[in-house]
Structure 1
């Protein structure tokens, strides 16, 4: 395509050949010129902004000094360390809860049925990867929110752990456990029964656990030995005082394995089954008192079923 135009007083005719190639070259040159002008203006304006308002220039251009970058790095490191500490606290608290759960499961296991302890899976916290130093408000807020959430969660777990530990300690101090190791056999329950010697009705104020001679007798709860002596009726009698006004008695034993005043733990070996005193054969006569009054051991022994 050709373009003709007339110019000058004499009407000089000029001609321009307009081809596709020339058109593309022209458009490209014009675009490059605009880009160059834009870059020049931006650079000039940014330099002026740095000179007259450095804070604005850094904000607009996302430019940081070495000190600012180090401060940002320190901020992120501090938050990450705080989060890692909260994760460690969380794991520790969860472990404490698992221990309390295991103790509670053991305390609540019925006497006559052997149960396996529940299998608990370990809990773990997230793995925190290092974050590149950048002035990212969203990342800062996310770190701060995560840290606050973990702190609140750990506070709740601590309160829950304290509650369950207190409850477990309360249970462990009561005579609610089995006084005989392993599977047990009850030959005589609490209440009226035929006396084995006189063959007439009488009150039986305890529970008889039939077991071979020398079978282990264990403390049914945490407490202190208040009596370990020979009695004409009970034979070798062991008495343990517990919290809450409870007391447990272990009669007809063949020998004592603890001494007067000794503190014993729940499940600790304290004596051996015998047939001392008024007894027809090897067994443990077990009694529970509350505030000095004899009560039916089935009221406190977990899983106990009276047999008469």
Structure 2
């Protein structure tokens, strides 16, 4: 088909050929324009719906607005911050527990045994096992965070219970005669048991430990308690006795000076006397005894047994 176009009496004739191919191309181009225009309108309308009615947008396309996404991220950030704070608190409590353990070992372990514990990173081994924060994985981040926070809370409770338990045991240990009655500068010259009496040369029972040091060296209480005797004795010379819990009593003899009175409360490590050479003594030393319910105990075994308990803890 051809169309002829004449714009005026003197104008030239224009001929336009219309073929089936050109008609089809025109129809396709028109359809494409209409579809593109419809898509554009749909997109603009959907974006408006997102801002104006998020619930409608979700029902139509399952999308979330930027504001809602920010709210979700804010919730996660808050929970992560809470988790971080919980973790920091737990770490601090574990450090406090470590300090308490060191105090426990210091009280429970005699000087000669305490030196056996090394602080160096020496031979250690075993397979590496990751800490279990959650028994089963979850795809829900919200659930993961809640579970982690709950487990950290349980860990905190366990650490606090352990701290309270150790604190109670430390207080109990402070009240038992497990300490050394002198400082660092001393020698043990005579142990507990049968020996030759230094005056008669005959076999006799020595019911304590003899610590040799300079006259005037401070003598300290080996446990918290109450002074029940502070007097002169023909055999012990100046002597101090302290009563402790569970029927324990400690005796400090041959003192040059007594620094406490009967009825006085003392704590572990308090200076109660000065070393001397009074009574039935051949030279300056401290004679130290431990008794329970009037039965004489070996002070060395008392220290070793307590150290074994502390190591097991």
Partner of residue 111, structure 1: 111
8 Å contact from structure 1 (residues 174, 222) kept in 2 = yes
* Equivalences for residues 23-38 of structure 1 within 5 A: 34-38=35-39
Counterparts of 2:28 and 2:250, CA distance in 1: 104
8 Å contact from structure 1 (residues 106, 117) kept in 2 = no
Partner of residue 150, structure 2: 148
Q: Does 1:233 align with 2:238?
A: no
* Equivalences for residues 241-252 of structure 1 within 5 A: 241-252=243-254
TM-score (norm 2): 0.70
* Equivalences for residues 48-87 of structure 1 within 5 A: 54-58=54-58, 60-63=62-65, 75-76=75-76, 79-80=79-80, 82-87=82-87
Partner of residue 283, structure 2: 281
Counterparts of 1:256 and 1:28, CA distance in 2: 116
Shift of 1:76: 5.0
TM-score (norm 1): 0.71
8 Å contact from structure 1 (residues 213, 272) kept in 2 = yes
Counterparts of 2:299 and 2:218, CA distance in 1: 19
How many residue pairs get aligned? The number is 271
Q: Does 1:213 align with 2:227?
A: no
- 1:148-198 per-position Cα deviation (integer Å, ceiling 9, x unaligned): 122111112112212222222222221111112104322222222211122
* Equivalences for residues 184-195 of structure 1 within 5 A: 184-195=186-197
- 1:287-306 per-position Cα deviation (integer Å, ceiling 9, x unaligned): 100122111112212499xx
Q: Tell me whether 108-117 or 151-160 shows the greater mean CA deviation.
A: 108-117
8 Å contact from structure 1 (residues 98, 120) kept in 2 = no
Q: Does 1:167 align with 2:169?
A: yes
When the two chains are superposed, the root-mean-square deviation of aligned CA atoms in Å is 4.0
Helix, strand or coil: the match of 1:301? helix
Partner of residue 41, structure 2: 40
Helix, strand or coil: the match of 2:177? coil
Helix, strand or coil: the match of 2:159? helix
* Equivalences for residues 171-182 of structure 1 within 5 A: 171-182=173-184
- In 2 relative to 1, CA 293–69 (structure 1 residues): closer, same or farther, beyond 3 Å? same
Counterparts of 1:197 and 1:286, CA distance in 2: 19
Shift of 1:232: 1.8
8 Å contact from structure 1 (residues 109, 115) kept in 2 = no
Shift of 1:91: 3.3
Helix, strand or coil: the match of 1:187? strand
Helix, strand or coil: the match of 1:281? coil
Counterparts of 1:89 and 1:98, CA distance in 2: 14
Counterparts of 2:32 and 2:73, CA distance in 1: 42
Helix, strand or coil: the match of 1:300? helix
Helix, strand or coil: the match of 2:166? helix
Q: Where does structure 2 lack aligned partners over 5 or more consecutive residues?
A: 3-16, 122-138, 307-313
Counterparts of 1:184 and 1:297, CA distance in 2: 16
Counterparts of 1:100 and 1:238, CA distance in 2: 31
- In 2 relative to 1, CA 201–55 (structure 1 residues): closer, same or farther, beyond 3 Å? same
Q: Tell me whether 227-236 or 140-149 shows the greater mean CA deviation.
A: 140-149
8 Å contact from structure 1 (residues 111, 184) kept in 2 = no
Shift of 1:74: 7.1
Shift of 1:50: 8.2
Counterparts of 1:15 and 1:72, CA distance in 2: 58
8 Å contact from structure 1 (residues 224, 242) kept in 2 = yes
- In 2 relative to 1, CA 277–31 (structure 1 residues): closer, same or farther, beyond 3 Å? farther
- In 2 relative to 1, CA 34–269 (structure 1 residues): closer, same or farther, beyond 3 Å? farther
Q: Where does structure 1 lack aligned partners over 5 or more consecutive residues?
A: 1-5, 18-22, 122-136
Shift of 1:258: 3.0
